[in-house]
Amino acid sequence: MTQASPISICLSWLACLFILAQAHSQNINTYIGDPKLYYGVAYYPESWDFETVEEDIALMKEANINVVRMSEFSWNLMEPKEGQYEFAWLHKVIDQLYENGIQVILGTPTATPPVWMAEKYPEIFKVDEHGNRRGHGARKNTSYSSETYRSFSQKICSELGKAFGKKAGVIAWQTDNEFSLSADYSEETRKKWVAWLEKKYQSIATLNKIWATNLWSMEYGNFNQIPMATPSIWHHTSLRMDWLQFTSDELVAFQQIQLDALRKHTDLPITHDAMPGQKIIYPDLFANLDFMTTNFYHNFSVYNRVQMNFDRLRGYGKGMHWVFETAPNYSGGGPQGKTWFIHQPDGAMRSIMWSNYAMGGQGSLFWLWRQHRAGQEMVHGSFISAWGKKAANFEQLKAFGQELKDQSELLIETPVAPAEIGMIYSHKAAMGYTVEAYNTQNLRYYTEWTSRFYRPMSDAFLHRDVIHEWVDLSKYKMIVASMLPSMTSKYMQELKEWVQDGGVLFLGPMAGYRTENWTAPTQHALGELGDWIGLEIESRIPIDPFNKNHDKAPKINFQLEGFPAVECSLWSEALSSQNGKTLATYEHGMHNGQPAIIETQVGKGKVVFFGTDPGPEALKKFYLKYAAGIGISPLAKGDQDVIIVPRKRGKDQYQFIINITNESKTIELAAPIVKDVLSGTKGARKKIVLQPFEVILGKE
C-alpha cells in the first residue's frame, strides 16, 4: 500500500474543509457526527443499575441502532453530593457503546435536580399563582429565573463539558428536556419581571399610554404595581402577551447559561429537544443552537400535520435536522399514566420516519429503548419490554434501520433541493391565539395554521420551506403570511422591500390586526401594512361556525375562471382599495357584495390579501396560479396527503414520494422516475398508484 505524503494529506483535508464550507454557505447538507444517517433511541441504563448494558448493546446492534441519547435525567449520579462530581459510570457506558459502533448524544440533567439540592435550596422550585412552592419528585419543577438554580446548572454543565467535551463516541449535546412555559410566581421572578418591563417601556407613562390603562382603572404609578399574569385573572391583553414573552426570555437565558458553560470545553454541536406547538419563541430558543430537532407523539391519522414540522426545521437553515423523540409503537405517561397507540397500521411508522429523512433529516431517536421497570412512565412503549422481551414490531423497526443504513451515503450526498416558497410560522402568533382567539372557535394555532394554509400548499405539490420572521427573504419568490396578527415595523419594512423587488406575498386572513404590543392599530386596520399596500379594511366580522345550523353560511364569489363559489370561514373583512384588483366578493351576510380578496401591484411584485379563509381547494388553486406566474412549477398533481421531496446530487435528481395515509393514492409526476432505489424496481413511471403508506425513492 502506497503511503500518502504529508502535503497530499494536507491538501485533501483542505479540499474537504472547502467542500463543507461551500455546502454550509449553500444551505445544503451539513451534518452532525459522521457523514451518515443516524437511527437511535433514548437510553437509561441507570434505571437498571447498569446490569443490562451488554445485553442492550447486543440487541441494539441487531436492531441497527447506531446512536443513543442519554443522561438528561441523571443529575443524582453525576453529583451525588454538592460539589462532588462522579462520571466514571457514564464514561464506562459511553466506552462500551462506542466500542460497538454506537455513538452518544449527551443531555444536560437540568430538568431533574437531585434531592440534596431540593432539601438545602428549596428556593430553586417554582411558586404557583397561589403562593405554593413546588418540591422534589417531578421533572421541570424548577424556576428558570432562580439564580441559585442557574448557578448549579452552570456548574454541572461546566463539569460535563470538561469530562466529555472531547470524549470519543460523543457527537453532540442536548440541553435539558422539552422546555415549556410553566410560569413561576416567586418574588425573585417578580423582580426580574419588573426589570424586564422597565427595560422595554423605559417609563411608566409610556406603558400607560400604549396599554390605554385608563380603561378599567388600570393606570399604574410605577412598574412594581404591575402584576405577574395569572390564569385565574382576566388580565390586560398586552400584559398577558408581555408575560409570555418574559417567561420565554427567562427560559432562553437559562439555556444560554448552559451553552456558555459547555462551549468553554467543547466544540461539539448543541441542540434542544423541542415539542411542536408549545408557547415558546423558538427562533429565540434556537438562535444560539447548532442544529434543529423536534419531538412528536402523533397518531397516524394526523401525519399530515407532523409533516409540516420537517419543513419547519429545514427552514431554519441549520443543516440536517433530527427527530429526538417519537414512540416506537405506543405512547404513555402523564399523571394518570395513560397509554395510547401511535403507529397502528402496518407501514405507518415507516412512512412518517422516512418522511423525516426525505425532508432533510439526518437522524431519528425513539423514546425509549428499554421500558422502565418503575416510575412515572412505565406505561410507555419501547423496543425492549421491562421483562426483557422484544417489542411486537421489533423486526419492522430493525428492517427500517437496515433500509437507512443502505441509503445513508446517497442521502448524505444528495441534499433537499432549495425551495422558492416560504410559509411563515409565527411562534408569537401561537402565543397570541392563547390570549385572544377573536371568534367562537378555540383557535389552536399549530393545528389551524397547518390544516388551513400549509396543507393546500403541500397538496398542490409546490416545494416549500416553513420559515419564521427572522429568516432572510431574498431566496424566496413567494411568501405566505397567514394568521400573522402582529409584525414588527422592521419586518413589515423587510416585506415591503421584498415585494417591491418582485416577490409575491399572500397576506391574511388574520394578518396585521395587532401591533407589536398586542394593541389595535388606530390609523388603519392593518397599521403600517395598509399604508404601503394601499389597502383598507372597512369592517371586520368574525364568522361563527355554529350559526351555520340556523342561517346561510357566508360564501365568496370569485372573479377568476375556474374558481367556483365557496363557503368561507375564520372571519370576514370587507376590503377596499383604489389601485387593487378585486378577485372575490362576499355573498350573503353583512358584507354581501363587498371585496373579500384583493390583488395589489407593489413595485415589481404583488400582494394578494385575503379577508377570509376561502378553504383548501381555493387556496390550492391560488397557490398554483401565482406560482406559475413567477416560474415555479408543481412537482406533481393528484391525490392529497402525499409527500414529494426533490433532492439533487450533481446532475442526478431524485424524488421521495411518500403516502402518509392508509388509503391508496394516485399521482402524476411532472418529471418521471426511472427507478425506485428502495425496492430496486426499474422502468419509467409518471403516473403512480401508491399503496397505503408506500415509500418510493425515485431516480429521475
pLDDT (tens digit, 9 = 90+) per residue, 349-367?
999 999 999 999 999 999 9
Residue 335 — very low, low, confident or very high, per pLDDT cuts 50/70/90?
A: confident
Query: Helix, strand or coil for residue 356?
Result: helix
CA 114 to chain centroid, in Å, comes to 31
The percent of residues above 70 in pLDDT, for the chain, comes to 94
Q: What is the pLDDT of residues 76-97, one digit of tens each?
A: 999 999 999 999 999 999 999 9
| pLDDT average, residue stretch 208-231 | 97
Cβ contact 468:315 at 8 Å: yes
| First-last CA distance in the chain | 39
**pTM for the full predicted model:** 0.94
What is the DSSP pairing of strand 695-699 with strand 652-659? antiparallel
pLDDT in the model for residue 173: 98
Residue 629 — very low, low, confident or very high, per pLDDT cuts 50/70/90?
A: very high
pLDDT in the model for residue 442: 63
Domain 421-631 maps to which CATH number in 3.30.450.20, 3.90.1150.10, 3.40.50.720, 3.40.50.880? Answer: 3.40.50.880
- DSSP labels, 625-670: HHHHHTT---SEEE-SSEEEEEEEETTEEEEEEEE-SSS-EEEEEE
| Fold topology of 637-699 | Immunoglobulin-like (2.60.40)
Helix (H) or strand (E) holding 127: none
Reported as half-sphere exposure (CB side, CA atoms, 13 A), residue 493 has a value of: 3
pLDDT in the model for residue 549: 62
| pLDDT average, residue stretch 487-515 | 96
Per CATH, the number for 34-181+269-412 is 3.20.20.80
- Structural domain spans, the chain: 1-30, 34-181+269-412, 421-631, 637-699
Q: How far apart are CA 122 and CA 581, in angstroms?
A: 64
Distances (CA, A) of 378 to 298, 335, 341: 19, 12, 15
Residue 340 — very low, low, confident or very high, per pLDDT cuts 50/70/90?
A: confident
